[in-house]
């Protein structure tokens, strides 16, 4: 059987990619240090460097520190070689951010939705697109990644009840037409999990879950370091964990307010109808007995949703986000105590370190990962 033989163009591509990866990892770095680190001869490194310089992917820079450079030329990657636009479509706002290839956010803006419809979301995205691009001259957008409150499979959105008209494939198609480029659509909680993995509390953790608790409930699962979407893109839809059960253990805002109404009936409390989750947690911090009882029950309900994930997937960490999940000072002791009673190896439970930026951060993480490869693939056209 004939064996394949590396051709000069293939070797040239491999050398250029190796040199570019070394510059991204060790910059500022000299030609000689690149050669030592990757095991490629200095003349070959020089040829690769010239190609990358011509493509605008790397540039000369000053050495790091005050030590002697002995006349060596140092190199660093060009962050502005491409940008990524991340978008977070919610029920009340669309959030947008623009980042460069290093992951530095160059601009961030939010637009309030006029109504909870896909048309309003598309209008808001178009406004953000124009506004964010106006912040930087000659911005080259490599990709657009959008987080939506629904399950996503092959650009088709399902289980998106918070924004009317979002379900189906039409949203992705209309967005592509308005922005005149392809877009990547992903579940917002999945993106939040990837955001925590990239720049949040889950850095370095291969198996964890991100659970968002607010007006709705959802989870993003990362297993063996990779996002787990499931067969139909609906992995982590925790609302269905209650199917077939008579006990009401919904931890979302509506159920929490209804529980407060029931417990407050005929009792002395500082809480008044209509009940609001922020006021409930504030009253608990002030020592209100009814509010403290509500919070204790909320901790139990959250623990009941964490336990099956921990038992089946054996995750080492659960990150809680959303408006309710952020109240760790009141909830976490109860959650951790119950998990320790129920499970032989309970996971660590922590608050999201990114807050309402988690979805955007995940969108930028996906887009940046693709852009780092795309600018290399397209480098000859750039040159």
Q: Helix-strand-coil percent breakdown of the chain, rounded to 5?
A: 45, 20, 35
* Residue 107 belongs to domain spanning: 81-194+359-382
Indicate whether 210 and 86 sit together in one domain.
no
pLDDT at res. 7 = 55
Indicate whether 316 and 344 sit together in one domain.
yes
Domain of 376, CATH number, reads 3.30.420.40
Domain of 69, CATH number, reads 1.10.10.10
| H/E stretch holding 85 | strand 83-89
What predicted TM-score, i.e. pTM, was given to this entire model?
A: 0.90
Question: Which tokens sit at 315?
Answer: 């995750």
- DSSP type of residue 24: H
Indicate whether 151 and 267 sit together in one domain.
no
pLDDT at res. 173 = 93
Name 183's bridge partners.
Answer: 144
Contact 375, 101 (CB under 8 A): yes
C-alpha to C-alpha distance for 304 and 295, rounded to whole angstroms = 14
Residue 87 φ then ψ, to 5°: -135, 140
pLDDT at res. 9 = 81
- DSSP type of residue 235: T
Indicate whether 349 and 214 sit together in one domain.
yes
Q: How many structural domains are present in the chain?
A: 3
List pLDDT tens digits, range 275-319.
999 999 999 999 999 999 999 999 999 999 999 999 999 999 999
Q: How far apart are the two ends of the chain, measured CA to CA in Å?
A: 39
pLDDT at res. 140 = 87
285 vs 74, 280, 377, CA distance in Å?
Answer: 55, 9, 55
Contact 149, 188 (CB under 8 A): yes
List pLDDT tens digits, range 212-256.
999 889 999 999 999 999 888 888 888 888 788 878 889 999 999
Q: What average pLDDT score do residues 264-270 get?
A: 94
Indicate whether 377 and 260 sit together in one domain.
no
């Amino acid at each position: 059987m004939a064996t394949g033989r590396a051709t000069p163009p293939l070797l040239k591509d491999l050398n250029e990619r190796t040199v570019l990866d070394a510059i991204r990892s060790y910059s500022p770095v000299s030609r000689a240090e690149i050669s030592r680190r990757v095991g490629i001869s200095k003349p070959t490194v020089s040829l690769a460097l010239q190609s990358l310089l011509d493509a605008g992917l790397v540039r000369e820079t000053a050495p790091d520190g005050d030590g002697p450079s002995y006349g060596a030329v140092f190199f660093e990657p060009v962050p502005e070689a491409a940008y990524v636009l991340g978008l977070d479509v919610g029920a009340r706002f669309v959030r947008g951010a623009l980042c460069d290839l290093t992951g530095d956010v160059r601009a961030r803006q939010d637009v309030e939705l006029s109504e909870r419809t896909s048309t309003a979301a598309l209008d808001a995205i178009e406004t953000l697109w124009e506004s964010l691009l106006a912040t930087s001259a000659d911005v080259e957008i490599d990709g657009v990644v959008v987080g939506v409150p629904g399950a996503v499979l092959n650009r088709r959105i399902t289980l998106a009840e918070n924004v009317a008209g979002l379900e189906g494939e039409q949203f992705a198609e209309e967005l592509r037409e308005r922005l005149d480029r392809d877009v990547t659509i992903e579940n917002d909680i999945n993106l939040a999990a990837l955001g925590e993995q990239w720049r949040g509390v889950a850095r370095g953790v291969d198996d964890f879950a991100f659970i968002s608790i607010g007006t709705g409930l959802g989870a993003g699962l990362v297993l063996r370091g990779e996002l787990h979407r499931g067969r139909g893109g609906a992995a982590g839809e925790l609302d269905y964990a209650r199917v077939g059960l008579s006990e009401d253990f919904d931890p979302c805002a509506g159920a929490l307010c209804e529980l407060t109404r029931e417990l407050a009936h005929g009792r002395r409390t500082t809480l008044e109808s209509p009940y609001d989750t922020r006021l409930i947690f504030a009253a608990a911090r002030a020592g209100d007995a009814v509010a403290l009882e509500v919070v204790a029950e909320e901790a139990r309900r959250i623990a009941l949703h964490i336990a099956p994930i921990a038992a089946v997937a054996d995750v080492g960490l659960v990150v809680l986000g959303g408006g309710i999940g952020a109240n760790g000072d009141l909830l976490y002791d109860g959650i951790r105590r119950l998990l320790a009673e129920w499970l032989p190896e309970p996971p660590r439970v922590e608050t999201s370190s990114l807050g309402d930026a988690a979805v955007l951060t995940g969108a930028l993480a996906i887009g940046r990962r693709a852009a780092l490869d795309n600018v290399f693939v397209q480098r000859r056209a750039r040159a």
